[in-house]
Structure 1
Amino acid sequence: MRLSLVAAGLLLSVGAAVAQAPAPAPAPRTVQHLETFARLYGYVRYFHPSDEAAAIDWDKLAVLGAQRVEQAQTEAELKTTLLGLFQPIAPTLQLMPAGKTYVFKAKDITPPSLKGYEIISWQHQGMGQGSAQSPYHSRRMHRRELLKDPAARATFGTLTKSVNAMPYRGKSFRYTALVRNASPQDGPGALWARVDLPDRGTGFFDNMADRPIQSKEWKEYEIKGTIDPQASVLYFGSMLVGSGQIQVDNIQVAVQEDGAWKTIFATDFEEDEVKQYPRSISGQANTSRFVANNSNDAYSFLVSATDAAQGKHSVVIRSLDKAEAQAESVAGSSKALFPQQAQIGEVVQEDLGSGLRCVLPLALYGTKDATFPAANKAALESLQAELKQLTPSRFTGNDRAVRLADVVITWNIFQHFYPYFAVTNSNWPAALPEALRAAYPDQSEEDNLKNLRRLTARLHDGHVRVQPPARANNYRYLPIRWEWVQNQLIITHVAGDSLGVQRGDIVTKINGQPAAAYFREAEQYISAATPGWLHYRAAGETLMGPPNAALALQVQRPNTESQAVTLHFNKAGLRNDESTHPMSRLISPSVYYLNLDRIPMDAINELLPELTKMKTIICDLRGYPKGNHPLISHLLSQPDTAKRWMRVPHFIYPDQKRIAGYTPFGWEMKPSKPHLSARIIFITDGSAISYAESYMGFIEGYKLATIIGQPTAGTNGNINPFTLPGNYTISWTGMEVRKHDGSQHHGVGIKPSIYLEKTIQGVREDRDEFLEKAIELANAN
């Protein structure tokens, strides 16, 4: 399935870390209490249908709950704490002694008269997060699904501008603007700039994470950098993080030519009308004006005619208060997502640990205005007041409560909605106390990142990526690429001639460790469904590090003594699959090559008359297709009838018990003319994931080609990313995808009919042995 790409590199969150003395390891009782809280949190958040629970800020409640629960010294204190946290939003919750089943009386939650009442209960098609375009939806019966919840998810608002960077490759640039922060006690402001490479890599990024704008006075701020020699687009803008208001004026971008600065973009907003900017994300270079990146509808972007730094106009970026944000939200449908519904009298009745068992209704009666019974007003207002004191823009991974909350939220999302536990052997229940213990003594954002990555690595989901907050995301790359070939770590690409290493060198040690041990350490933080994807990810992750940090290598090349080489993390990343292969080429009069990782469908369409004359077409899909899956329609002889190979589970009960069915999806492709009758050979490997595997699923399922290479990543389906307190973002697979014949795909992938391995000699000779095999097969045709 095609991935939903999320714009990266724009988040910034600045707040004073909570000063803490080094924390000892938590007592076993504390971990057990936190685990009990975590389980109850998931049951109430995702399955209790009260209006009060639906309206609460659940991220804040996770942080507050962690703070309170770790103070409980006994099980009796824990019970009192949990009731204080959850009964104001779930008044029908009961906490009982564990180990026995209780009789729940439906009359206790039934109003005297049912006139005007309907049954309110949760339905989850996957795990919905309020996007109308998503295949995932969470909705309470007889309640509208709020398609956007900006007040709860507001993180940043930014103005974005892009210019074509290719004319300025290799040049220094300078970006300046006048900015003032009208309310520095709230969120910080910042300028930001990013240089993008053609392969979706980043050549430069600065978001002023180390120097946030917090002055109430107009001042000029500056970002300086170099436009990468391979750059495609320069993005820049200004942003407000969290709540508050900033003003921006007199923006200028210049490049250095012949020792002088040449302006390539400038605006003082005097030409702009006094009104709101359009709300979208800029995707085109050379747009004439800025646009507002405001996907959560929680910010206002207004060209103002008051208090400008120069002239009459400036731009005001302002966070919307809750009432404003909700007024701009889009209410969704209240129609049922699927037929099944929890009924009055059905309850979650589960042991939570710490000697407690919860009894919690899954369905309530409700009028159009409120669910029954109503919560205690005073207790609810007290809880809401306490939550209001928490400021999300100041949450960081340095705060133990935030780290614990991140574990609680993450564990519950997968516990209740991850579709692949049956095939991954994840032992997810054991992962919760382990992650809580690890989160307790950690003292840094990096420690929290590692803990979240180690936790989610248990899922064996190749879509899982745990991204740090932008202020902590300052990685650079070594000027090489490497991979494991014939059980040796081989350098496959080198960016430069004076590094002391060359293509084909064997790396025997890294920072004094055997290379294999160094990689095993890295792999514990990577979620992967197959060895191929694990090796692909590890080869990239091990080349990332802090700017200018050193990595000591011991390398061996033929007929020479082993030598020590030191490299530094200071380059833009090289692609794993960097090669000299063009988008397409005629290999021989009867054989054509298509690099599906690079060639767009428009270019394939232009080639179709020539392709119809070929005896063999080699399609290279070692990577990610460039929107060219319609090529499949020219290979099909009959309409696609596989309509259920993607499916989103229906959940009405927690812990994935008694799944209520599935919503199926397929591509439903039809044959297109001209039909390509040539022999088709597909090359693939473990770097092919998601959309690439949907593509390869058709090739395998309809037997459209000979597949050579290595198994694909074994991970497919739309991702469903979420953001945690502290602005860590986690992507994951939210739907189940099978092969076209209904068999397991996850952890299996598309297997080639001819399996291939690279050789060290082939790497040293800069040969593509997979393509050589494809050509050999074509010539033997």
Structure 2
Amino acid sequence: MLIKKTLILFLLLFPLLVLGQLNNRQIRNLTAFAKIYGYVQYFHPSDENKLEIWEGVAINGSKSMMKVDNDDELIVELRKIFLPIAPTIRITLTRQKESFSIDRLKPDISDGYKEISWQHLGFNLYSGISERPYKSIRLNRTPVVGNDRNMQIPLTGTYDVSAYRGLKYDFSLTTRVKRKDGGPTELKIVSGKDSIELKTTETEVHHFTGTINSSAELIAFELAADPSIPLSVDKPVFKIIDGEKSLSPQEISTATKKASGKLRKVTFEIIDPNYALYDQKLKFGEYLDKEVVKGVSIVMPLVLLGNRSSTYPVAGGKVNGSTDLNYNRISAFEHNEIRIADVIMLWNILKHSFPYMDDVKINQEHLLAKILQEASSAKTHTTYIKVIERMCSFYNDAHMFISIKGMEPSYTIPISLIRADNKIVVKDVSDKRLMDSIFPGDIILKVNGIPVGKQVDTLIQYVSGSKQKKDLLTMNRLLNGKKNEKVEVTLLRHEDTHKIEIERTKVAQDYTAGNAGYLQKENGWAAPGTYYFDLTRNSLTDQNFELLKTAKSIIFDLRGYVFDQTISTDLVPALLRDTLSTVRFFNPKILYPDLEHLSFHPGPETYLPNIKNRLTQQVIFLTDASAISASESLLGLIKDFKLGTIIGEETAGTNGDVNIAYLPGNLIVYFSGMLFKNSDGSKHHLNGVLPDIHVGQSRKSIENREDLVLKKAFQVIRERWSGQK
């Protein structure tokens, strides 16, 4: 009887064991760990808080949380993980919580100490893409990346080093620090891993060494420095060291054929530890006091004191930031601890920096628990991707998409769909072999026997963005699946139902321009006096402007993403009579965790009239939900300042610069890192740019291959012309 009961219990528990379900204890442990992880990584300013440790801490910490059985063990384990990084934090049972004491943060001798705290302008996630506008620094500490006001200044010309491959080189330059207002100046000159402090006002010669690599052709040296920094740099000397000999490479002319070879630039960056991103800063004595899970609390200072050698106090113990897994060469789905670490890292990035958190309608702790559970259960590549897509969907951000190593492309059948008359309708058929069995205007009723409405309800759970953008992406994904699989599609055509099996042979794409397929047109005279120009497939050149100036009316098609991201700076000035100034982009200024006391750094825009390319005639823009980001930047100006008439449907409702999270296991997640508003300060996110005249396609127009949006534009033009007559 005992054996039978044991067998029954095992069978009941077997699905949980197989699927790797987390129990309530593990969820509690991981939640506490996740919250402290984010607080310490982004807001504790100790010198032990180094960029390179955090992937390992996330992986090892996630793994250790699985083995903790009670809160006493949890506190011991959390202290073991975080005290070597943040020795001033206090992790305790809430009932035993210690009061914050500023005296613990003061060294016995305070001379030479400065206040160290974090400033974030967005989150610098160190993607290696220098033009991202996001910065993260610790005040009074050398930044990991330099001053955004730096200018690139050539120190030398270009040298041909192809004959010196494998040899060492010595590069020297002379510096002199100028004291500012009679006070001391603390500067560093940094090149790669080499860092030299510039302490005195005397002239100093500094030497930097390296090796000419085996494929080197050309080399040049440059300085990256803020012109306002009080420093002179002079007398650069480049020498090749060949045993006992010192050789001077030949500097070549940029006009020679050889100058077109592969060029490596060696950059010397001048770092000012006193550099700040903005005026606001935390004050010594400010601290964080949070209950991370019910019954477990953390008290953590947000400002420390530090001298030249360390922040106070110095931590003891070893940071567990390394792992046996080479997690940058594997996919995340292969190991449970990497899947969980990815969720924790991404959740914290968004929790503390996502500028549209007001539009996230789920409690963050509930979301974390839900996604941790799903990530732990994901045993296939496809399932894990779905988990991350599901997580992203709650943020309602159409900039959000993911990439992961080993991600196989989806395939679809060679037709495109559109929503018309509140039905899902065949828009185009791209395979001639199907043109006798499926037709534009056919209504999709079922896919593989499942009603299409039910399919859409399922798919939309894995799409992030506004209502209109989610609907568009769902149309693009409705027929997706594995390559060469057959799909049974049930269609309605003129009150008759048809079933057809179609093979998935076409690589699926999430993005499709709204004016694709039968709606695509070439630039040209669409009617006498009316010129049609497709901004999703063409740039505007001076030659184009000369042609456009001869038209009586212009139709710009922006049903999709702009072909040229500089289109706003090209086209808007041509539509202006006076200077246009506005502020629409806002970078988050993050000092406190959980987006508390959040403020923003405005990004002003100014457009000056371009008299040469001025367009004074009637201008109409066509648009829909496939217009996103840079397209909305242009359309927003058209709408806000009445520079033309917009016809069509709402745009995607997603703008502002993208940030990029690189996570263990080769998972990359893109998201909106910057807030965007309309010029009058009203909300753009999710709403999009609203057309002046709302028009969409109908099932009948698709069947008859008509473009109702373009047709409406012609009607508006005729009415304008007749009114002028």
- Are the counterparts in 2 of residues 623 and 688 from structure 1 also a CA contact under 8 Å? yes
- Are the counterparts in 2 of residues 123 and 337 from structure 1 also a CA contact under 8 Å? yes
Aligned residue number for residue 73 of structure 1: 69
Give the Cα–Cα distance (whole angstroms) in 2 for the partners of residues 669 and 622 of structure 1.
24
Aligned residue number for residue 649 of structure 2: 710
Deviation at 1:409, TM superposition (A): 0.7
Give the Cα–Cα distance (whole angstroms) in 1 for the partners of residues 674 and 649 of structure 2.
24
Aligned residue number for residue 601 of structure 2: 663
Structure number, greater radius of gyration: 2
Give the Cα–Cα distance (whole angstroms) in 1 for the partners of residues 83 and 636 of structure 2.
49
Deviation per CA, 1:92-128: give whole Å up to 9, x if none. Answer: 1111222687521111011111212111111000111
Change (3 A) 1:367 1:390: farther
Give the Cα–Cα distance (whole angstroms) in 2 for the partners of residues 99 and 706 of structure 1.
63
- Are the counterparts in 2 of residues 583 and 599 from structure 1 also a CA contact under 8 Å? no
Change (3 A) 1:613 1:368: same
Aligned residue number for residue 349 of structure 1: 289
Aligned residue number for residue 478 of structure 1: 413
Report the AA paired with residue 605 of structure 2.
W
Change (3 A) 1:565 1:332: farther
Report the AA paired with residue 747 of structure 1.
L
- Are the counterparts in 2 of residues 128 and 138 from structure 1 also a CA contact under 8 Å? yes
Aligned residue number for residue 713 of structure 2: 774
Aligned residue number for residue 684 of structure 1: 623
Give the Cα–Cα distance (whole angstroms) in 2 for the partners of residues 467 and 278 of structure 1.
35
Aligned residue number for residue 87 of structure 1: 83
Where in structure 2 are the equivalents of 1:211-226 lying within 5 Å?
A: none
Deviation per CA, 1:349-379: give whole Å up to 9, x if none. Answer: 1000052100111111111221111111xx2
Aligned residue number for residue 143 of structure 2: 145
Report the AA paired with residue 644 of structure 2.
A
Aligned residue number for residue 370 of structure 2: 434
Aligned residue number for residue 543 of structure 2: 606
Give the Cα–Cα distance (whole angstroms) in 1 for the partners of residues 96 and 74 of structure 2.
19
Aligned residue number for residue 510 of structure 1: 447
Where in structure 2 are the equivalents of 1:290-689 lying within 5 Å?
A: 334=273, 335-376=275-316, 379-380=317-318, 383-384=320-321, 386-387=322-323, 391-394=327-330, 396-469=332-405, 471-499=406-434, 500-528=437-465, 530-558=466-494, 560-571=496-507, 573=509, 575-576=512-513, 577-579=515-517, 581-602=520-541, 605-627=542-564, 628-629=567-568, 630-642=570-582, 644-659=583-598, 661-673=599-611, 674-689=613-628
TM-score, length-scaled by structure 1: 0.71
Where in structure 2 are the equivalents of 1:1-400 lying within 5 Å?
A: 22-98=18-94, 102-130=98-126, 131-147=129-145, 274-276=214-216, 334=273, 335-376=275-316, 379-380=317-318, 383-384=320-321, 386-387=322-323, 391-394=327-330, 396-400=332-336
Report the AA paired with residue 516 of structure 1.
G
Report the AA paired with residue 612 of structure 1.
K
Give the Cα–Cα distance (whole angstroms) in 2 for the partners of residues 705 and 747 of structure 1.
22
Deviation at 1:649, TM superposition (A): 1.2
Report the AA paired with residue 660 of structure 2.
P
Give the Cα–Cα distance (whole angstroms) in 1 for the partners of residues 624 and 268 of structure 2.
43
Deviation at 1:588, TM superposition (A): 2.5
- Are the counterparts in 2 of residues 482 and 492 from structure 1 also a CA contact under 8 Å? yes
List alignment gaps of at least 5 residues for structure 1: 1-19, 149-272, 280-326
Give the Cα–Cα distance (whole angstroms) in 1 for the partners of residues 536 and 484 of structure 2.
31
Change (3 A) 1:502 1:33: same
Report the AA paired with residue 534 of structure 2.
N
Deviation at 1:69, TM superposition (A): 0.6
Give the Cα–Cα distance (whole angstroms) in 2 for the partners of residues 90 and 390 of structure 1.
26
Give the Cα–Cα distance (whole angstroms) in 1 for the partners of residues 707 and 79 of structure 2.
64
SS of the residue corresponding to residue 393 of structure 1 reads: coil
Give the Cα–Cα distance (whole angstroms) in 2 for the partners of residues 649 and 713 of structure 1.
22
Deviation at 1:543, TM superposition (A): 3.8
Deviation per CA, 1:621-666: give whole Å up to 9, x if none. Answer: 1111122321111111111111x2101010111001112x322113
Measured on the aligned residues, the alpha-carbon RMSD in Å equals: 2.3
Report the AA paired with residue 481 of structure 1.
S
- Are the counterparts in 1 of residues 410 and 508 from structure 2 also a CA contact under 8 Å? no
Give the Cα–Cα distance (whole angstroms) in 1 for the partners of residues 445 and 218 of structure 2.
55
Deviation at 1:402, TM superposition (A): 1.0
Deviation at 1:24, TM superposition (A): 4.3
Report the AA paired with residue 68 of structure 1.
S
Deviation per CA, 1:589-608: give whole Å up to 9, x if none. Answer: 32111111112122xx2132
Give the Cα–Cα distance (whole angstroms) in 2 for the partners of residues 648 and 396 of structure 1.
31
SS of the residue corresponding to residue 395 of structure 2 reads: coil
- Are the counterparts in 1 of residues 359 and 395 from structure 2 also a CA contact under 8 Å? no
TM-score, length-scaled by structure 2: 0.76
- Are the counterparts in 1 of residues 425 and 441 from structure 2 also a CA contact under 8 Å? yes
Deviation at 1:29, TM superposition (A): 1.6
Change (3 A) 1:679 1:389: closer
Deviation per CA, 1:368-422: give whole Å up to 9, x if none. Answer: 221111111xx216x25x5466643235313111111111011111110001122
- Are the counterparts in 2 of residues 426 and 460 from structure 1 also a CA contact under 8 Å? no
SS of the residue corresponding to residue 112 of structure 1 reads: coil
Alignment partner for residue 698 of structure 2, among 748, 751, 759? 759
Give the Cα–Cα distance (whole angstroms) in 2 for the partners of residues 776 and 426 of structure 1.
45
Report the AA paired with residue 432 of structure 2.
D
Deviation at 1:328, TM superposition (A): 8.7
SS of the residue corresponding to residue 607 of structure 2 reads: coil
Give the Cα–Cα distance (whole angstroms) in 2 for the partners of residues 128 and 120 of structure 1.
18
Change (3 A) 1:611 1:424: same
List alignment gaps of at least 5 residues for structure 2: 1-15, 147-212, 220-265, 721-725
Report the AA paired with residue 609 of structure 1.
E
Change (3 A) 1:482 1:329: farther
Give the Cα–Cα distance (whole angstroms) in 2 for the partners of residues 405 and 55 of structure 1.
16
- Are the counterparts in 1 of residues 90 and 98 from structure 2 also a CA contact under 8 Å? no
Give the Cα–Cα distance (whole angstroms) in 2 for the partners of residues 739 and 558 of structure 1.
44
Give the Cα–Cα distance (whole angstroms) in 2 for the partners of residues 472 and 85 of structure 1.
33
Change (3 A) 1:450 1:278: farther
Deviation at 1:439, TM superposition (A): 1.6
Give the Cα–Cα distance (whole angstroms) in 1 for the partners of residues 348 and 268 of structure 2.
26
Aligned residues: 581
Change (3 A) 1:357 1:390: farther
Deviation at 1:57, TM superposition (A): 1.9
- Are the counterparts in 2 of residues 555 and 565 from structure 1 also a CA contact under 8 Å? no
Give the Cα–Cα distance (whole angstroms) in 2 for the partners of residues 397 and 549 of structure 1.
24
- Are the counterparts in 2 of residues 32 and 354 from structure 1 also a CA contact under 8 Å? no
Give the Cα–Cα distance (whole angstroms) in 2 for the partners of residues 330 and 468 of structure 1.
34
Deviation at 1:51, TM superposition (A): 1.2
Give the Cα–Cα distance (whole angstroms) in 1 for the partners of residues 421 and 145 of structure 2.
51
Change (3 A) 1:458 1:780: same
Deviation per CA, 1:652-697: give whole Å up to 9, x if none. Answer: 11001112x3221133111102321111111111111100110011
Give the Cα–Cα distance (whole angstroms) in 2 for the partners of residues 652 and 129 of structure 1.
16
Give the Cα–Cα distance (whole angstroms) in 2 for the partners of residues 62 and 657 of structure 1.
24
